[in-house]
Structures are given as structure tokens and as C-alpha cells.
Amino acid sequence: MIDLLTPPFDPQKILENKRALKKQLLLQEGLLEKRVALLGGSTIGEIKSILELFLLSHGIKPIFFEGQYGLYYEELAFENPALAEFHPDVIYIHTTSRNIMEYPRPGMSAEEREALLQGTFSRWSEMWQSATTRYGCVVLQNNFDMLPYRIMGNMDAVHRNGRLRFLSDLNALIYDFQLKNPRFHVNDINYLSACYGLDQWHDAKNWYLFKYALTPGAIPVLCHSVAAIIKAVYGKNKKALALDLDNTLWGGVIGDEGAENIRLGMETPEGMAFLEFQQYIGAVSDTGVILGVCSKNEEENALSGLSHPTSALKREEFASFKANWEPKHLNLQAMAKELNIGLDSIVFADDNPAERQVVRGFLPQVETVPLSVPEEYIRALDRQAYFETVSLSEDDLNRNSAYRQNMCREASRALFKDYEDYLRSLKMICRVDRFHSGNLGRVTQLINKTNQFNLTTARLSEAEAALRAEDPSYIALCGALTDRFGDNGIVIVLGARVKGEEAEMELFLMSCRVFKRRLEDAMLDEMIRRLKQAGVKKLTGLYFPTGKNALVKDFYLEQGFTAVSKERFELDLRGDAAQKYDAMEIVRYDA
């Protein structure tokens, strides 16, 4: 990540360097193009150019559609041929409390006030509903920032006719809307403005002169946050946090001072800071972020720190543990391999700037957290939005236990001489299902973040996946894998478009967590079985190389397909083409 685009921001420097930054960011390879419609209830101008920088820094190249000034409602609520022709992937509506037309008056009756609240909310929600259904895309809007004044003073937050109370209630309705509409996302400017300082955020002069609803200096904070949501929607979140130990997770050098002398716990100010940082990391990992240790230490000393009685994090919470004297970039490479994730999915946190520098030098794709002093660690990590959550799937919640189960599987594998025996011993059950509303969240997540075992790397929004679920000429399958060590949840997705007697495999991807379980064979069998039932005689498999999916470049050849070009492989389904694979029981949920 470019330093200028890493919080805390220097808005002046970003502004001065925006052209150069853009040029530099456009040089990156493999940028993902997304069509972003920008609509606003106030001036958008600079928001567009700064948002572009942040999106580019996440590898997303936006193509913008800019709505007319202040006409967001008219543009979204009604038919809009220009927007329809643009085919937006994302619609971002930038508003603020400046766009609230009417507030309750102090003497309003409870009924009138409720009607005003519902009326105000439904004007917004109908617009979002209209936008999501009309364009089938992701819609993003903020909640509302608090006002720069309080008519009733403190009571304004309490009384139902207070304006601040009105905004709080409106915000609560907006949150509930998102919970029911996964394609809609809230940008929490109520929080951002509080962090920035409301007195600074509201800049009356820039509003009266230029109709900027927030001070121009806050634009980087806003755009960073909006870009964080968009990158998370498109699967560009970080997946793992690799942590140093000495002076990162506790105070002191454990090898020199001994486990009993490290600062961790309520006894010292420093100890409290480290303890809270550990607790914060524990909570982050509960959302599905994988933890690893990357420390220059004797393993024994490192372990003694994590078994310290006040340590909030324990050894078993780390899916990968590298405490040795190897250079850290080598350990991070080994960690990526072990966890089966890309280096660009890893965030590295180390208090030592020299170690960070080495890692940045050797592995520019690894993000390093700019840690300074322990009391600022939480903020330094939190503000980066590396792990922005746009949905919390069952899978996220179980991820870390899944990695622990994998350690058990590895241990048991050592007991078998023959790999097939080992697979049979796992007593695997594959639950096959079609895409439906109950699994689309996880399916979309998998589609968008799987890089290695992904034949086409086609990325789909939830809306696009939903279209395929409903399309009778499309066979969209997902598979969940259970074995005697636990449930992996949905880990594989296949999608084939049927045209008469031919079909083309648009989606074929699998989570790295279940590599080498022959799940891909079983699911391909299942797909072929269903294609045959649909009267398909020829299946075309596609492989588009991306730089991350070399693992599967020969996949279709290994499955008995014939190459017709570098990217296309064909299989004749008229014979008995399917393999017989019996190490796994298949349960069909949709049958």
C-alpha cells in the first residue's frame, strides 16, 4: 500500500499528488474493472478522484458514472436510460444529514413524528429497493452524521422530537434495511464524522460556497471507508494477520527477560495496552481472520509467552506458528504456503520498523501495519480496514476451528501409507445443493475470493449469482464437505450454462482448505450426471490463467477433456465419461 493512502491521512499531500498517484497505480497488473455510479446530494467532484485512488490501491479500476448535482433521488427512483446503459456494478449514493428535508418540531404528536420518520425512511428505502432491483447491482449509501447544533441541547439526543434522536432512529432503520437486503451496504459516516471531530467535519463555509457537505479535508477518510466496503464486496479483503511477539503482543523481550517478566496484564500501563491489543486481535479472529505468529524467538520461549496466565491469545488460536531465527519474509512465505493463501492476503504486524522494511522490500504484496507505540496499536490496525466485514457467514465464524481441524487431519494422515486409504478414513460426505437464497451469501463470497483453484476467476456479485440460480438453462451447484473431524461448510462451486446439447463451464472453483480431497472429481461427476439428464452431449471447460491459478492449468486434461485451444477443453458426454469416485458419500439437498 502506498504510504500516502494509509491512515492517518494528509489530505493536502494526497491532493497535491493525486495525478502522480493515479499514474503510478494504473501501472499495476491485473486491475479489476468495476462500473461505479456516483450520485450525490452535495458536491461529489473531489470525492470521485480520491475514491478512484483508493479503489486503484485495492486493485479495482473504477469506470465512473457521475449523477447530476443533487438529483440522486430522481436518478434512482425512476427509469433512467443513461444509468441503465451504463450497467453499474456499484451505485454509491453520497449523502449527509444536509439531505434530510424535514425534522420533527418540538410540539409534534407521537403519531405525526412516527409518520415523519417512516416517511423519511421510506423515501430512501424505496430508492435503494428500486436501484437494487432495476440494476441488480450493489448499492452503497451512508447513514447520517449528527448535526453541528442541538436545538434542545443534551435533550436533543433523547426526546423523540429532538433532531439528533430523529437521526439516530433513522440510522437504526437503515441498519435493519441492510440486514434484510444483503446487496445494500451502509457506509458509517456517523462514526467517521465522530472520529474526525464533528466541528471539523461540518464546514459551513465550504457548504455555502461550494456545497461540500463535509470539509474537503475529510474526503480521504470518507473515500477510504467507501473503498473498503467495495473491495470487501469484491473479495479483496485480507485473510490473515501474522504477528510478531516481543513488544508486539507483549512488552519486553521474552528470551532475555523471561516469561515472568514480560508486561502483559492489568498490573502496568504497558501491560494493559498489550492485553487490550491481544483481546482486540482475538475478537478480530472471531470474525474469521486467520492468525499466525512470525517471531524471531526460540520456539520454547515464544510458547511460554502465549501460555502466560494473562495472555488473552493462546497457542491454539494461531493457525500457523513460526518462531525461529529465519528471516521473516521467508517465514511469511512458508506461512502463506501452509495456510494455502496468497501473500497478498497477509497483513504483517511488527513493532520493529526494520523488520517491516525488510518484509516490504522482499514481499511488497504483504501489507505491513504501521505500529508505533503500544497504546496506539489497536487504532493503527483498526483504521486500515484490512478486514472490513460485509457479511458474516457461518463459514467466517468457523474458519479458525476449521484450521485447527486441518491440523488434526494432517496428524492422522501421517498414519496412513496409502493416500486413498487416508481419504476413505476421513468418512467424507459431500452435500450438493443448487444456489438458493440460503447459500448465495457464502457462494458469492467463495466466488469472489478464491484465487488458486479457480478455473475462470469469474467474479460475480450476489445479484449476478442470484440470476444464475433462477435461470433454468443454468446449472449452478455448490458443495459442502463434512468429514470425521468437522464440517468445512460450502467449499466448492460449479456453474454451467446449457445451450441446447452443449454446455460451457463458467464457474469451477474450490476453497484451498479442501485441496487434495478429490472433492473436485466428485463434484465434476455430479455436474456431468446432471448435464446428461438435461440432454447435454458436449461439455466445454474453460481455463483462464491469472497468475494465481497455475495449479489448475492442466485440470481439464487430467479429467480427460481434449484441448481445443489454450483456454477451451471439450468432453464428449455421450459415452460413459464420468469417473467413478467412491471415497465420498454424496447427499443431494435439492433432490
Partner 1 sequence: MTRERILEDLQEIFRALFDDKSIVIGEQTTARDIEDWDSLEHINLINMIERRFQIKFDMKDVVNFKNVGDMVSCLFHKLS
Stretch of 212-220, 326-334, 351-359, 410-418 lying at the interface with partner 1 (CB under 8 A): 212-220
- For the CB of residue 15, give the shortest distance to partner 1 in the complex, in Å: 6
- Rule CB under 8 A: is residue 43 a binding residue for partner 1? yes
Helix (H, G, I), strand (E, B), or coil: what is residue 579? coil
- For the CB of residue 310, give the shortest distance to partner 1 in the complex, in Å: 45
As beta bridge partners, residue 431 has 480, 587
Between residues 206 and 352, which has the closer beta carbon with respect to partner 1? 206
Q: How far apart are CA 541 and CA 508, in angstroms?
A: 9
- Rule CB under 8 A: is residue 45 a binding residue for partner 1? yes
State which H helix or E strand residue 529 sits in. helix 519-533
Pairing of the two strands 428-434 and 584-588: parallel
Q: How far apart are CA 447 and CA 524, in angstroms?
A: 17
As beta bridge partners, residue 64 has 36
Q: How far apart are CA 242 and CA 348, in angstroms?
A: 5
**Opening angle at CA 59, ends 54 and 60, nearest 5:** 75
Between residues 56 and 586, which has the closer beta carbon with respect to partner 1? 56
**CB neighbour class for 168 (10 Å; exposed up to 12, middle 13-18, buried from 19):** middle
Candidate residues 9, 124, 212, 403; the one interacting with partner 1 per rule CB under 8 A? 212
- Rule CB under 8 A: is residue 206 a binding residue for partner 1? yes
Q: Are 556 and 525 in contact (CB under 8 A)?
A: no
Q: Per the structure block, which three cell numbers stand in for 252?
A: 519486553
Candidate residues 34, 37, 42, 46; the one interacting with partner 1 per rule CB under 8 A? 46
Candidate residues 209, 266, 354, 591; the one interacting with partner 1 per rule CB under 8 A? 209
- Rule CB under 8 A: is residue 580 a binding residue for partner 1? no
Between residues 110 and 209, which has the closer beta carbon with respect to partner 1? 209
Q: Are 166 and 104 in contact (CB under 8 A)?
A: yes
- Contacts from 150-155 at CB under 8 Å and sequence distance 24+? 151/106, 152/106
Stretch of 133-141, 211-219, 477-485, 554-562 lying at the interface with partner 1 (CB under 8 A): 211-219
Q: Under rule CB under 8 A, which residues in 287-306 are in contact with partner 1?
A: none
Between residues 211 and 436, which has the closer beta carbon with respect to partner 1? 211
Q: Are 423 and 583 in contact (CB under 8 A)?
A: yes
- For the CB of residue 561, give the shortest distance to partner 1 in the complex, in Å: 52
Stretch of 77-85, 128-136, 209-217, 426-434 lying at the interface with partner 1 (CB under 8 A): 209-217
Residue from 297, 223, 213 nearest 259 by CA = 297
Q: How far apart are CA 485 and CA 163, in angstroms?
A: 54
- Rule CB under 8 A: is residue 12 a binding residue for partner 1? yes
Number of residues lying near partner 1 (CB under 8 A): 16
Between residues 212 and 274, which has the closer beta carbon with respect to partner 1? 212
String marking each residue 13-32 x if it binds partner 1 according to CB under 8 A: --xx--xx------------
Query: In whole angstroms, how far apart are CA 402 and each of 90, 252, 344, 491, 493?
Result: 33, 32, 21, 12, 19
- Rule CB under 8 A: is residue 205 a binding residue for partner 1? yes
Q: How far apart are CA 323 and CA 346, in angstroms?
A: 17
Between residues 67 and 216, which has the closer beta carbon with respect to partner 1? 216
- Rule CB under 8 A: is residue 210 a binding residue for partner 1? yes
Between residues 212 and 348, which has the closer beta carbon with respect to partner 1? 212
- Rule CB under 8 A: is residue 340 a binding residue for partner 1? no
- For the CB of residue 477, give the shortest distance to partner 1 in the complex, in Å: 49
Helix (H, G, I), strand (E, B), or coil: what is residue 542? strand
Between residues 16 and 501, which has the closer beta carbon with respect to partner 1? 16
List of residues contacting partner 1 (CB under 8 A) = 12, 15-16, 19-20, 43, 45-46, 205-206, 208-210, 212, 216-217
